[in-house]
Structure 1
């Protein structure tokens, strides 16, 4: 597995119909910068809203996975995301002029071939892998679903078992020992459906884009000639037959266990919504989109919890300042009594760590609960914003000639009180690269090992106007 992030060299497009909507749609992969991740963009809607490929944005898992954000949705995301993970592409913008990803042949192979046709571009940033630290399990007793992620330091591997209590399908297993095997072993495996499910979907006017060429239909009951005739009519075919393998239209299976391999493909695509590349071994029995998403949420929550603990250092008063108060005043225009950062102890391209020492001598304690002094929450946010401002202004060669104005503060949470004598350590990290002077950051403030405040902020860099 490549340690460096990568994108594609140029854009590539695919046209087809949505499996469930039947609507024509064009999907275009576009190169994206480092740490961009996977994002969908609905270019057919006003404002061309962007939808992050994030498990927290999942809104439906019936028959496929749908994500929604900013008033827009994209459905059937699993095949395209599986292709990106299988090709080890980290950063790409996925443009769509419709709500549903084109089904193409029902697998991920056309996406894979398209990505390979334009080639890959290695980027400077390293992949921030999450190594599964211990067994993480998920189960659904009513559906006999069992899923487990196990430590495996060297690669990303999968094992999948399906068992539908069907004499035609039976019990099947599929496995890949490395994500590098995705193209040859998994990518070409098509979606499948049981005939009784297909009949129900057709009855409710669903799978409008369905075709015998993009789905394996497993025949789980005997069909009369008139039933075959009705199916042929539904799929605009002169004739449909049942092959000896128990599938419609004499379709040639690409693998004997193609259904199990496709379930593994779906699982890779759904787990891509965790948002970080993984190293570990994923094993699943009878997985489905709902279980995949629930499992992805569990893993993401663990990642978030662990990284939050690591993201802010426990403050060492003896730690050497990267920027002392004089250097801070050369960057920020704020002055006493409205300068709330005493020193910066870390500063990189992507994050900054600043310290605020709270003392009883602060002016606001004269009127803010003077009998029981508590550091005001709004000033905690201001101190966090000033810390983020240092990060943003460090990207220009002459910060003294610029100001940062905050456009939005969101998802603010105050977790614990801050009192005189405490030192708050603020860490502000870019959520995505700065574009057109706009920066989006995640901020966390800690006293010791306790998170006291967190928020997401958006700021704009503006050059000071000359008089």
Structure 2
């Protein structure tokens, strides 16, 4: 079992936003299990949170930009790539501006900060999406394409061809995420001279200098352009190197542009929200095609997870039989609605109930066409969750469990006499002060029959 990870200590970096040109302080903080990557705008009232979620992508010009309820995060990809590359799952990223500092245009300084802060394991299993078939997205306008195919590890190949002599065709491959820190993290962002001129003319690159972006000269530089560049970058002299880039920078790799595009792919695909076991091949990647692919993957994964039916061998000896259950839960027949606990960890529990015609509720609930009441399915899910939360105290027989909140309840199919119900409850947040917040699903006949988000609290008997 691979466990989730977060950073051990908080750490801060300061710098300038590439496009805003504003000084910004960014702080990485440890986060609880299942938090994922969340941005917090501490400069705004209420410190609003923006999750690193592909569905919040609103703009991909000059970076991957997120927006939630009017709150924006710009150029998120380099920071997110660093956390994935350092094998971290849960982090809170505080910013006092909308854009992280550009630093040197790579993920290098973020990786160094993460390593300085330290990485620690958490008491929860990491979740993966195992790719079983080829999934692809094509941008018909540009011809860019990204696909993922089955593989035991997360691998990425990026192929770039910008149709220019100065850059040519380049490829880069990351065979394992363990290669990121050494082979990919220090690959810097780049731009073509014609793009740079447009950005400068429109005031869209206020925090750039020749130390945080590789500039490929793909056209003749006029004297006027040269003077504008000197002013923009605060340099007395600017020249073009024999390899076609502006001076003051030395390439780290001959294929640094392809490596940076691969870095961007890793950062953008972090927005899927779950680790991938599959090989990604990106042909002419860019933030638009990357994030569209991330949105498609996110949707596919959510649908599969929603419809995924857990399979358990009911012939095996249960973790808890009815006698053990009754020693923990205060409920008694006819309101004890679970028969077995099949499986349990610190973060989830699986319970079971055999529905028979002898149930008391069938006396009055459609006796001529018996259907198990939906509210009792919810109660049965909650009782399974009650086992999980009561297992955190040494004397569960001295506690009672009370509902605090029920949200997003959905009933999909009828539950009839003769059905075997399986209840799976998973923590949404860690149990604190006896409060349990969980996502619950009920399955019967190989399909999802009900689901709900439940919150309950245990309290000592008076």
TM over 0.5: yes
Secondary structure, aligned partner of 1:196: helix
**Does structure 2 conserve the Cα–Cα contact (< 8 Å) formed by 1:43 and 1:97?**
yes
The answer on 1:115 being equivalent to 2:114 is yes
**Residue 337 of structure 1: how far off its partner (Å):** 4.9
Equivalent residue number for residue 252 of structure 2: 254
Secondary structure, aligned partner of 2:280: strand
Change in Cα spacing, 1:250 to 1:97, as seen in structure 2 (3 Å) is: closer
Change in Cα spacing, 1:381 to 1:70, as seen in structure 2 (3 Å) is: farther
**Residue 395 of structure 1: how far off its partner (Å):** 1.6
In 2, distance between residues paired with 1:315 and 1:4? 25
Equivalent residue number for residue 25 of structure 2: 26
**Residue 428 of structure 1: how far off its partner (Å):** 0.6
The answer on 1:385 being equivalent to 2:350 is no
In 2, distance between residues paired with 1:59 and 1:25? 22
Equivalent residue number for residue 155 of structure 2: 157
In 1, distance between residues paired with 2:72 and 2:391? 36
- Residues 375-414 of structure 1 correspond to what in structure 2 (within 5 A)? 375-414=372-411
In 2, distance between residues paired with 1:69 and 1:367? 48
Worse-superposed segment, 158-167 or 71-80: 71-80
Equivalent residue number for residue 207 of structure 1: 205
In 2, distance between residues paired with 1:323 and 1:455? 24
Unaligned runs of 5+ in 2: none
Equivalent residue number for residue 103 of structure 1: 102
Equivalent residue number for residue 168 of structure 2: 170
Equivalent residue number for residue 431 of structure 1: 428
Equivalent residue number for residue 221 of structure 2: 223
**Residue 460 of structure 1: how far off its partner (Å):** 4.4
**Does structure 1 conserve the Cα–Cα contact (< 8 Å) formed by 2:404 and 2:457?**
no
Equivalent residue number for residue 464 of structure 1: 460
Listed one character per residue, the Cα deviations across residues 323-362 of structure 1 (whole Å, up to 9, x for unaligned) are 3344434433444554433332222222111223334455
Listed one character per residue, the Cα deviations across residues 364-401 of structure 1 (whole Å, up to 9, x for unaligned) are 55665555443333333232222222222222222234
Worse-superposed segment, 253-262 or 429-438: 429-438
Change in Cα spacing, 1:279 to 1:165, as seen in structure 2 (3 Å) is: same
Change in Cα spacing, 1:278 to 1:45, as seen in structure 2 (3 Å) is: same
Cα-Cα RMSD = 3.1
Worse-superposed segment, 345-354 or 369-378: 369-378
**Does structure 1 conserve the Cα–Cα contact (< 8 Å) formed by 2:74 and 2:99?**
yes
The answer on 1:419 being equivalent to 2:419 is no
Unaligned runs of 5+ in 1: none
**Does structure 2 conserve the Cα–Cα contact (< 8 Å) formed by 1:18 and 1:24?**
yes
**Does structure 2 conserve the Cα–Cα contact (< 8 Å) formed by 1:22 and 1:208?**
yes
**Residue 173 of structure 1: how far off its partner (Å):** 1.2
In 1, distance between residues paired with 2:144 and 2:427? 38
In 2, distance between residues paired with 1:231 and 1:172? 27
Equivalent residue number for residue 144 of structure 2: 145
Runs of 4+ residues over 6 Å off in structure 1? none
Change in Cα spacing, 1:409 to 1:460, as seen in structure 2 (3 Å) is: closer
The answer on 1:189 being equivalent to 2:200 is no
The answer on 1:136 being equivalent to 2:132 is no
Worse-superposed segment, 355-364 or 395-404: 355-364
Equivalent residue number for residue 354 of structure 1: 351
Equivalent residue number for residue 198 of structure 1: 196
**Residue 286 of structure 1: how far off its partner (Å):** 0.7
- 448, 453, 461: which is aligned to 2:450? 453
**Does structure 2 conserve the Cα–Cα contact (< 8 Å) formed by 1:315 and 1:448?**
no
Secondary structure, aligned partner of 2:431: coil
**Residue 68 of structure 1: how far off its partner (Å):** 4.5
**Does structure 2 conserve the Cα–Cα contact (< 8 Å) formed by 1:345 and 1:355?**
yes
Secondary structure, aligned partner of 2:430: coil
- 310, 313, 328: which is aligned to 1:312? 310
Change in Cα spacing, 1:152 to 1:195, as seen in structure 2 (3 Å) is: same
Change in Cα spacing, 1:142 to 1:259, as seen in structure 2 (3 Å) is: same
**Residue 437 of structure 1: how far off its partner (Å):** 3.9
In 2, distance between residues paired with 1:169 and 1:439? 55
**Does structure 2 conserve the Cα–Cα contact (< 8 Å) formed by 1:345 and 1:354?**
yes
- Residues 72-83 of structure 1 correspond to what in structure 2 (within 5 A)? 72-83=71-82
In 2, distance between residues paired with 1:314 and 1:308? 17
**Does structure 2 conserve the Cα–Cα contact (< 8 Å) formed by 1:402 and 1:461?**
no
Change in Cα spacing, 1:152 to 1:205, as seen in structure 2 (3 Å) is: same
In 1, distance between residues paired with 2:270 and 2:154? 12
In 1, distance between residues paired with 2:228 and 2:452? 57
**Residue 421 of structure 1: how far off its partner (Å):** 3.0
**Residue 450 of structure 1: how far off its partner (Å):** 0.9
In 2, distance between residues paired with 1:401 and 1:92? 37
In 1, distance between residues paired with 2:48 and 2:241? 45
